[in-house]
């Protein structure tokens, strides 16, 4: 998974080489730090991850945080969305699950 620098889109940055079969990606300021963080749902490793931007807008660096999840289905995370669901002024993650078959 890669993210490009602000506006020029010519210099990709690898932020993960371990996310398995990414199904959903969102760029948003998850932690209120004033920079873009990345949320990712990956299929093969059943993981939702938050990649915290520890750098800045022009020189981003990312730290991965796994978000605790529970699904009775292996290989199941698909679409994710982020919004303030409960009105407490911090971001909440909403994820859908499903299986093939």
pLDDT recorded at residue 5: 46
Most confident by average pLDDT, 13-17, 67-71, 85-89: 85-89
Q: Are 38 and 15 in contact (CB under 8 A)?
A: yes
Give the Cα separation of 4 and 98 in Å (integer). 30
Asked if pLDDT for residue 87 goes beyond 90, the answer is: yes
> What value does the mean pLDDT of the chain take?
77
Give the Cα separation of 34 and 77 in Å (integer). 28
Cβ contacts of 101 within 8 Å, gap of 6 or more: none
């Amino acid at each position: 998974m890669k993210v490009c620098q602000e506006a020029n889109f010519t210099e990709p940055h690898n932020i993960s080489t371990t996310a398995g079969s990414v199904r959903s990606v969102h760029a948003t300021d998850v932690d209120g730090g004033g920079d873009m963080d990345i949320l990712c749902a990956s299929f093969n490793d059943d993981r939702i991850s938050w990649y915290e931007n520890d750098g800045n807008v022009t020189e981003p660096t990312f730290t991965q945080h796994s978000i605790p999840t529970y699904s009775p289905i292996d290989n199941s995370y698909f679409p994710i969305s982020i919004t303030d669901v409960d009105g407490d002024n911090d971001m909440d993650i909403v994820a859908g699950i499903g299986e093939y078959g």
